[in-house]
Amino acid sequence: MLLTLSIIVYARWLQIGLGYVVGAGDVDIWIQMCRSTFDQMGSLVAGNSRVDENLPHLAKCLTYIESLEKEAPHVIEDRRPGAEWPETGSIEFHGYGMRYRPELEPALTDVSFSVAGREKVGVVGRTGSGKSSLIHAILRLVELDSGGITIDSVDISTIGLHDLRSRICVVPQSPLLFEGSIRENLDPRGEHTDDEIWCAIRKAQLEEVVNLPT
Instruction: Specify the CATH number of the domain 86-176.
Output: 3.40.50.300
Q: What is the pTM of this model?
A: 0.62
pLDDT attached to residue 17: 54
- 149: nearest Cα among 80, 79, 90: 90
9 exposed, middle or buried (CB, 10 Å; 0-12, 13-18, 19+)?
Answer: exposed
Report whether pLDDT(156) > 90: yes
pLDDT attached to residue 52: 75
Report whether pLDDT(29) > 80: no
CA 107 vs CA 110, 120, 136, 145: distances in Å:
10, 24, 11, 10
- Of residues 125 and 42, more confidence is placed in 125
% of residues, the chain, pLDDT over 90: 41
- Of residues 56 and 114, more confidence is placed in 114
Cα of first residue to Cα of last residue in the chain, in angstroms, is 64
Q: CB of 137 within 8 A of CB of 172?
A: no
Report whether pLDDT(25) > 80: no
Instruction: Give the rounded distance of the alpha carbon of 185 from its chain centre.
Output: 18
Summary mean pLDDT of the chain: 83
- Residue-range domain boundaries for the chain: 2-67, 86-176, 177-214
pLDDT attached to residue 115: 96
Report whether pLDDT(16) > 60: no
- 110: nearest Cα among 156, 150, 153, 145: 145
Whole-angstrom distance, CA of residue 203 vs CA of residue 97:
33
| pLDDT tens digits for range 97-138 | 999 988 889 999 999 999 999 899 999 999 888 899 999 999
pLDDT attached to residue 39: 74
